[in-house]
Amino acid sequence: MKLSVIIPVYNEEGTIREIINQVRAVDLGDIEKEIIVVDDGSTDRTREILAEEVAKYEGKHEGHEGEHEGREGERERHEGEFRVFYHEHNQGKGGAVQTGLAHATGDIILIQDADLEYDPREYPQLLRPILEGRSQVVYGSRFLGGPRKAMFFWHMVGNKFLTLVTNILYDTILSDMETCYKVFTAEVARQLDLKSKGWGFDPEITAKILKRGYRIYEVPISYTGREYHEGKKISWRDACTVLWTLLKYRFVD
């Protein structure tokens, strides 16, 4: 069994190294792990940092090809494979995720934002429903009682409104459609044919999953939201894109 962690990133020089280290540190036991970072045309030092991380990874693995036993082999499996892809121009989160999906080789796919709002230590609980055969799709919900940092009231209202629209249009009972933590099997991924490049990614993938008859299993997660001065990017204007995408994919595919 193999997990592909896709990390779309745009101008996250302050967090990208730390999130990579956190994902590497997650111990999934017998589950292999690959980390796929897609830089979406960053204009800060993100690309420079990613190049350093690639060099570090390649340097640590020189001379260890084919080594699968003993302490070194266990450490390599623990940290996982590491690959980085670059967009010449900014396409949006959806475009970055699509690139990641095109290169993913895992049996299970997990989307991880690069901004440290979500904790990779929660991967085991996100994977459990899939590994136990209860669902092929799992969302980590920020609204099911997990610990969270108190954030913006109107963001919560907007999130709940868009989730309500999702539930009405697609006959489901989600609590957090806009969550970063979306986990699904490779079988599901092959059926999605995603088109949205920007903030329409979350509603499009949710709509297509539900329209294909998959029920989404939600698990509670923690959430440490960041402020705008810390680099938070989404705004109320993006809600219009999300709403339009939900309506569009209700009637087209």
pLDDT digits (tens, 9 = 90+) for 31-44: 999 999 999 999 99
Residues 6 or more apart in contact with residue 211 via CB below 8 angstroms: 170, 249, 253
Q: What is the mean pLDDT of residues 163-167?
A: 96
What one-character-per-residue DSSP string does 155-184 give?
HHHHHHHHHHHHHHHHT---S-TT-S-EEE
The ranges assigned to domains in the chain are 2-151+179-190+215-229
Q: Which CATH class is domain 2-151+179-190+215-229?
A: alpha beta
Q: What is the mean pLDDT of residues 244-253?
A: 90
φ and ψ at residue 98, rounded to 5 degrees: -60, -40
Which token pair is 212?
């294909």
- How far apart CA 16 and CA 153 sit, in angstroms, is 27
Out of 122-126, 166-170, 201-205, 222-226, least confident range: 222-226
The mean pLDDT value of the chain amounts to 89
Tens of pLDDT, residues 52-111? 999 998 887 775 555 444 555 555 556 789 999 999 999 999 999 999 999 999 999 999
